[in-house]
């Protein structure tokens, strides 16, 4: 028994695929017990890894409504409220009297904390909510319909967690009922769970930007981590070859103006950093829903302006250094090289800022994860634009 409890604790630290593989050889009853100890959303994700027949068999062994809710959650996409639904412990009809409700809740409160009593019609439609404290102070002969809060706020199961979090952020309720399209009560979601889920999504963005799957945990076996990460390494290798091909195209220019080789990594580094800043701010805006208020044009305009300001300041410094180095090499035109450096730095920074904002916005509009490997895409564009522009200007102006 102690060994089983230790294994259950280990499951909470694993990604869904690894957890399901570790449970696969256990009896269905043991799996149901193990999943019952997990976070609701994680239990649904692990259950999803089992075949449909076994999934239903495991859910059927879970007492109460939990198994049914797990199967319902599986029908909705990941990242929706349905994945976080828990059974409501206290559901009564509007004609139930306070004394009767309190009597029936005496055993329930020993097992679960009851914050709200949900009042439903015979067809399951949610018509009211009663705070437990109101129930305690009400007269024993009163009915729930007399003391309930009518037409309470509720969440929909298909609602994305991010949008649900934005809806509840000003309400600060500990529990939120979840109802289907016809207003029937499906269960409840804890406010804490909503914000924990969103906090996890935000923490996963940093990994997603460089090709790390958000399901991966520290305890994920190395072979699964390798399998999920390596394809992005291949894509990154391809993009590096693209940037290398641009430099190779201007090989003769670099041979004749060797000093350019010193400035290529400087220019690429500045543009990558500026684009990453725009990317981080845009991802944060998408997460918080701020991008809808401003619109794409306003976001791109701001990042272009910031890129211009940063590009001019850093470009002037780089142009002065280029001018000083060119003076020490015979046969070079220091002024033209300084101008090429300033122009390429300024133009590249403008484009890098816009691309850093544009990549996640486009991916979000297409319905993809805006953070998914966006840093890899960004670095390719910024390398090609920054190094290509400097080499092109040097070739046109000096050769």
Structural domains present in the chain: 2-75 (no CATH), 91-190 (3.10.580.10), 209-398 (1.10.357.20)
Along the 399 residues of the chain, how does pLDDT read in single tens digits? 444 555 555 666 677 778 888 888 888 888 887 877 676 667 777 877 888 888 888 877 776 666 666 666 667 777 788 888 888 888 999 999 999 999 888 888 877 788 899 999 998 899 999 998 888 888 999 999 999 999 899 999 888 887 887 788 777 788 899 998 889 898 888 887 776 655 545 544 444 444 444 555 555 666 666 776 667 677 767 777 777 787 788 888 877 887 888 788 888 888 888 888 888 888 778 766 777 778 888 999 999 999 999 999 999 999 999 899 888 877 778 899 899 989 999 999 999 899 888 888 887 787 766 665 567 777 778 888 888 888 888 888 876
Termini Cα distance of the chain: 79
* pLDDT score for 399: 66
Indicate the DSSP class of residue 84: G
* pLDDT score for 129: 94
- Please choose, from the candidates 174, 169, 90, 170, the residue with its C-alpha nearest in 3D space to the C-alpha of residue 135: 90
For residues 283, 285, 288, 290, the Cα torsion angle rounded to the nearest 10 degrees is: -150
Secondary structure of 260-316 in HEC code, one letter for each residue: HHHHHHHHHHHHHHHHHHHHHHHHHHHHHCCHHHHCHHHHHHHHHHHHHHHHHHHHH
CA atoms within 13 A on the CB side of 222: 0
Contact 16, 215 (CB under 8 A): yes
* pLDDT score for 204: 47
Q: What is the pTM of this model?
A: 0.53
CA atoms within 13 A on the CB side of 342: 14
* pLDDT score for 211: 45
What distance lies between CA 199 and its chain's CA centroid?
8
* pLDDT score for 226: 72
What is the Cα–Cα distance from 177 to 279, expressed in whole angstroms? 36
3-state secondary structure of 117: strand
* pLDDT score for 144: 93
| Conformational region of residue 295, where left means phi above 0, alpha means psi within -120 to 50, and beta covers everything else | left
* pLDDT score for 302: 92
């Amino acid at each position: 028994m102690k060994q089983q409890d230790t294994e259950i604790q280990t499951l909470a630290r694993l990604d869904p695929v690894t957890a399901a593989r570790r449970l696969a050889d256990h009896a269905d009853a043991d799996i149901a017990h193990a999943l019952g100890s997990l976070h609701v959303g994680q239990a649904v994700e692990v259950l999803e890894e089992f075949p449909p027949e076994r999934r239903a068999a495991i859910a059927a062994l879970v007492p109460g409504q939990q198994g049914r809710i797990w199967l319902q959650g599986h029908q909705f996409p990941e990242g929706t409220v349905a994945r976080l639904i828990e059974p409501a412990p206290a559901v009564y009809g509007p004609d139930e009297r306070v004394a009767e409700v309190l009597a029936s809740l005496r055993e329930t409160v020993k097992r679960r904390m009851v914050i709200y009593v949900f009042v439903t019609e015979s067809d399951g439609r949610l018509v009211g909510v009663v705070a437990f404290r109101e129930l305690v102070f009400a007269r024993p002969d009163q009915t729930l319909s007399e003391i309930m809060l009518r037409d309470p706020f509720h969440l929909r199961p298909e609602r994305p967690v991010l949008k649900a979090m934005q809806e509840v952020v000003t309400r600060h309720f500990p529990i939120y009922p979840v109802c289907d399209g016809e207003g029937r009560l499906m269960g409840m979601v804890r406010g804490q769970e909503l914000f924990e889920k969103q906090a996890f999504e935000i923490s996963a963005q940093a990994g997603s930007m460089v090709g790390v799957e958000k399901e991966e945990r520290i305890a994920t076996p190395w072979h699964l981590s390798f399998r999920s990460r390596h394809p992005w390494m291949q894509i990154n290798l391809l993009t590096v070859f693209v940037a290398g091909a641009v430099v190779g195209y201007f090989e003769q220019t670099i041979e004749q103006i060797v000093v350019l080789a010193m400035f290529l990594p400087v220019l690429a580094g500045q543009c990558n950093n500026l684009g990453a800043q725009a990317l981080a701010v845009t991802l944060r805006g998408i997460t918080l829903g701020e991008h809808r208020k401003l619109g794409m044009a306003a976001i791109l305009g701001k990042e272009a302006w910031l890129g211009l300001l940063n590009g001019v300041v850093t470009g002037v410094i780089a142009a002065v250094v280029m001018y000083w180095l060119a003076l020490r090499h015979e046969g070079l035109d220091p002024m033209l090289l300084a101008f090429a450096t300033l122009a390429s730095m300024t133009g590249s920074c403008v484009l890098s800022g816009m691309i850093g904002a544009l990549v996640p916005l486009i991916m979000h509009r297409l319905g993809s994860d805006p953070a998914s490997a966006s840093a890899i895409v960004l670095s390719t564009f910024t390398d090609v634009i920054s190094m290509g522009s400097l080499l092109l200007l040097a070739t046109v102006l000096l050769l």
